[in-house]
Structure 1
Amino acid sequence: MPQRDGRSTGPAGGHEGLLARVRATEAAVERIGTTLDAVTTCEELAGFLFRNGCDAVAVDLLDADGGTLRAATAGAEELLAAGSGGTPSPRATDGGHPLSAWVTVAGGVPVHVLSVPLPDGHRVHGLLTAVRARTAFSDHEAATVHFAARLAAVHLGHARQLAATEDTVSHLQRALVSEPGRPHPNLEVASRYLPAGPRALVGGDWFETVRLHYGRTLLVVGDVMGHGLDAAVDMNAYRSTLRDVASTDLAPHRVLRQLDALAAGDAGRRPATCLLVRVDPARGVAMFAGAGHLPPAVFGADGSATLVDVPVGPPLGTGVGGYEAVTRTITPQETLLMFTDGLVERRGEDIDVSLARLAAVRLPPGAGVNAVVDAVVAALDADHAEDDVAVLAARSRPRLPVDPAAAAGAL
């Protein structure tokens, strides 16, 4: 086949043509399907054929509704339009993969067209169209186009299977990391979960809110070590156990002790970090306790952030215990932000530098809890984080003043 870099592979037919076909086949295996992305595979197919004897190439994919989407082109697109008016006739069939050919004339110049469907098993993913002006495709050249199309179809099938698997995993992930439970009406919360990249699997990051007595709410953020289904299963176990233990109304550090002891008794459960904050809006106080987790931040009314100094206990599941609590005031003008390490950590960076970057974030005064989450995620570029990100923000709702006249009328 003639090469785009100007080299000649010899005559299109005969022994030299066969050798050129073999070399092109080897090159196709190396250059088509280097990723598990459907569009990239289409681009590689189009680019390969354009560099190997075609003047123009188009790859169309079928969508879920049966329509077509042009995924990739290469070469002179006007030739694709010129070659669309012919009447296809079968040229070859290999393993049930038909190759059709036809010729049209554009501006007095013959335009030769090859068309190959992209099937994988019983499903057709799309259609390849290869065009060349003036010179017809030899049998060896047509066979190379045919082989490249079949190769791409196999990779497209793998890409579709991966996409379906990722979709299932995404639904499972979001079912496991669902919206937190409803807190008391005196507390406003917002949350965000961001998996690490388009190829992310289920992980162990999670958040939760638990209603307690006397208008208090327990806020929880945790991170099971590792990724994958095993981490997600352990995360769900920690989450369920925490709900049961927290319902006894123990202080946060005592809840951690119970969780640690229960997790340590299960040899198959992975360790996890966890941060608990019990918020009491009526008294304007919050009690903090951590198990190997990063400290939370509190954004003030002016939009500046302060990191809360929480005693660092060992991760859950170690059986070491030794958790302590710290209490600080919190007002309706302040927003508490809890998060997993994916929000701030960057590869090769000291964790103090990472936390300082969060503390340097400035928010517009008076921003609501959802706006706080949005602003922090954007400021730290969490959409491109290297690890999963879970964020939980909370703010006490101010108590409405009581109208003495209305209260007297109610008596």
Structure 2
Amino acid sequence: MPVHADHPPSIDVTALAAVLDGTTAGVAVFDTELRYMYVNPALVRHNGLPPAAHLGRRPSEVMPDIDAREDLMHAVLADGRAREITSSGRLPAASGTARCYWHGAYHRLEISERVVGVVGIVLEVVASDDEQRRLAQAQRHLSLLDSANTRIGTTLDMDTTCAELADLVVPGIADVAIVEVFPRDVAPPVRPAPPGVVRLRRAAMSAVRGLSPGAERFGVAGDYIDHQEDAAVPRCLATDLPIVENLTDEEQLNRSAPSPEWADAYRDLGLHSAVVVPVSVRGAPIGILGLMRGGGSPVFSDDDVVVARELAGRAAVHLDHARRFTHEHTIALELQRSLLSEPRPPHPHIEVATRYLPADRSVLVGGDWFDVIPLPDGRHLKAMGDVMGHGVEAAVAMSHYRSLLRLLADEELPPHRILQQLDRMVERSGIDRAATCLLAVVDRDGEMCEVASAGHLPPVFIDPGAAGTRICDVPAGPPLGTGFGGYRSAKMECGPGTVLFMYTDGLVERRDEDIDACVARLRELTLPEDGDLETLLDRVLERFGPGAEDDIAVMASRTRVEPV
């Protein structure tokens, strides 16, 4: 006998059980409040709950994750019209997160013209294999698009971004993926392209494990690929639209491949379909994403093409950022290199060695600079400066500072007066970037050095032999461009062969470390046994360069004991 709740005596549940217990369809009887009065064994097995867990409770209470449509059941009670509907949800006893589907029919139950409840008959339905495949494909596509947010564009390097795109789509939607860009976006071509040929540079390629060795026949990253005039890639670039090719058709295969050799490789690897989508920014293509499938993989669907184009579009934004960064970085670097060219010694008896070390290749160059300027009477001016910020603007501001300093050097002023004049000129010229600066005027014989600082770290005097190393106690005035002035000079005696070492803060400044302690470590500097200045700077950068958070400029100079 089935278990049942209290019910009106007019309903013979025993009679219901005799009829319905043996059916394979799930059957339930509800009272007018939609509380279970009866459940047959088939429904008990399906729901995975005992009869007692149903009786006296509403469907929404027994199975809260099921779309039970109690509103529809109320409508059946109200008008007596039977209704059918498909419901879905997750059963309480089901494992995992798989969604189940049911088709149910609901009828009003009447006895002696009295409405006593609702009877529901449900059958589980299973999605077709094709629907399940489409659902799985949609889930993979959504996962790819979600992953693209974190896996593409992690750096400002174009080739890295292309590699991230290729690695993302394999094996998600392709067995082989290639990314190619126009040579001008990454490097100049090694040779001119023949007429009617589109030349791209292979930026990245990825393939599933079984195809990786054979895919090397397509070339490797860095190769230049020439595409014949009617191949898939030129057609894609010309129309800025995806091109889908059936590689099992000989005519399409021969036309699609960049060259006849590639067509042979497609055949040998068993590739049967290909998609080429443009990688474009503001309607202008900068390259392509090529996808291929082979073996037992299905041909590309329309949804695959849509997802591929969406991924290519997202990558294009990052590639455009990387291209702009590379362009600006190159301009700034070339400008700074030209301005930081090796200063010519002002006299034959002056030795100078310099180095410039960017903190990181991915960081825009800054405004570090140095100079050596000859003065009347055999004296010379040595300068080390650092303009605030990075990029083209900082490098341009640095060139203004250097030009103004050279103009002022001819006035034969002491270093603190030069800084005062330079501060006023910068304020009047409209240069909107402050800068630190250290000036040192050395007399003809190299026995006396007069030093002044505009917010710059003090110089170091390295005496030969056992004399030791001294850090100049120079009063540090405000940076240039602030208009405060108030600079003072300090004089330091120099012995024969004393080396003046000047540097920017990137050499010693470290996060969470006291700057005075960092500068104090420079007391440990000593000259190499042979006294070579180039070797000295190599050792300095080897010791202090690692971990630098800013660009480093260093200069070592001295007066030779005997002029050559």
Q: TM-score range by the shorter chain?
A: 0.7 to 0.9
Question: What is the match of residue 477 of structure 2?
Answer: 313
Q: Does 1:49 align with 2:211?
A: no
Q: Which amino acid aligns with 1:315?
A: P
Match of 2:504 among 340, 348, 363: 340
Rounded Cα–Cα distance in structure 2 between residues aligned with 1:287 and 1:74? 66
In the superposition, relative to structure 1, how do residues 17 and 367 fare at CA in structure 2: closer, same or farther (>3 Å)? same
Q: Could you tell me how far 1:354 is from its partner in structure 2?
A: 1.5
Match of 1:189 among 352, 366, 379: 352
Question: What is the match of residue 263 of structure 2?
Answer: none
Match of 1:73 among 206, 226, 237: 206
Question: What is the match of residue 136 of structure 1?
Answer: 298
Aligned residue for 1:354, secondary structure, equals helix
Question: What is the match of residue 454 of structure 2?
Answer: 291
Match of 1:243 among 399, 406, 415: 406
Rounded Cα–Cα distance in structure 2 between residues aligned with 1:83 and 1:372? 47
Q: Could you tell me how far 1:40 is from its partner in structure 2?
A: 2.2
User: CA deviation digits over 1:77-125, x for unaligned, max 9?
Assistant: 644616969xx9979978423233435676xx95545352654355453
Question: Residue 302 of structure 1 contacts residue 364 of structure 1 at CA under 8 Å; is this kept in 2?
Answer: no
Question: Residue 125 of structure 1 contacts residue 156 of structure 1 at CA under 8 Å; is this kept in 2?
Answer: no
Structure number with greater CO (CA < 8 Å, separation at least 6) is: 1
Q: Could you tell me how far 1:72 is from its partner in structure 2?
A: 4.2
In the superposition, relative to structure 1, how do residues 170 and 126 fare at CA in structure 2: closer, same or farther (>3 Å)? farther
Rounded Cα–Cα distance in structure 1 between residues aligned with 2:451 and 2:216? 71
Aligned residue for 1:207, secondary structure, equals strand
Rounded Cα–Cα distance in structure 2 between residues aligned with 1:207 and 1:172? 14
Q: Could you tell me how far 1:255 is from its partner in structure 2?
A: 1.8
Q: Which amino acid aligns with 2:290?
A: L
Q: Does 1:19 align with 2:138?
A: yes
In structure 2, runs of 5+ residues without a counterpart are: 1-96, 100-128, 190-198, 219-229, 249-265
Moved more, 145-154 or 289-298: 145-154
Q: Could you tell me how far 1:71 is from its partner in structure 2?
A: 2.8
Question: What is the match of residue 114 of structure 1?
Answer: 274
Question: What is the match of residue 523 of structure 2?
Answer: 359
Q: Could you tell me how far 1:28 is from its partner in structure 2?
A: 5.4
In the superposition, relative to structure 1, how do residues 73 and 244 fare at CA in structure 2: closer, same or farther (>3 Å)? same
Q: Which amino acid aligns with 2:168?
A: F
In the superposition, relative to structure 1, how do residues 78 and 54 fare at CA in structure 2: closer, same or farther (>3 Å)? same
Matches within 5 A, 1:9-408: 11=130, 16=135, 19-20=138-139, 23-24=142-143, 26-27=145-146, 29-30=148-149, 31-60=151-180, 63=183, 64-65=188-189, 66=199, 68-69=201-202, 71-76=204-209, 78-79=211-212, 81=214, 95-102=240-247, 110-112=270-272, 114-116=274-276, 118-120=278-280, 121-125=283-287, 128-139=290-301, 140-180=303-343, 182-201=345-364, 203-265=366-428, 269-302=432-465, 305-381=469-545, 385-399=548-562
In structure 1, runs of 5+ residues without a counterpart are: 1-6, 402-411
Q: Which amino acid aligns with 2:374?
A: R
Q: Could you tell me how far 1:349 is from its partner in structure 2?
A: 1.3
Q: Could you tell me how far 1:178 is from its partner in structure 2?
A: 4.0
Q: Which amino acid aligns with 2:350?
A: L
Question: Residue 446 of structure 2 contacts residue 496 of structure 2 at CA under 8 Å; is this kept in 1?
Answer: no
Aligned residue for 2:247, secondary structure, equals strand
Identical positions, percent: 37
Question: Residue 177 of structure 1 contacts residue 206 of structure 1 at CA under 8 Å; is this kept in 2?
Answer: yes
User: CA deviation digits over 1:285-309, x for unaligned, max 9?
Assistant: 2222222210111233349643222
Length, aligned pairs only: 390
In the superposition, relative to structure 1, how do residues 372 and 77 fare at CA in structure 2: closer, same or farther (>3 Å)? farther
Q: Could you tell me how far 1:189 is from its partner in structure 2?
A: 1.0
Q: Could you tell me how far 1:193 is from its partner in structure 2?
A: 2.6
Question: Residue 274 of structure 1 contacts residue 316 of structure 1 at CA under 8 Å; is this kept in 2?
Answer: yes
Rounded Cα–Cα distance in structure 2 between residues aligned with 1:137 and 1:313? 72
Q: Which amino acid aligns with 2:214?
A: A
Question: What is the match of residue 12 of structure 2?
Answer: none
Moved more, 145-154 or 204-213: 145-154
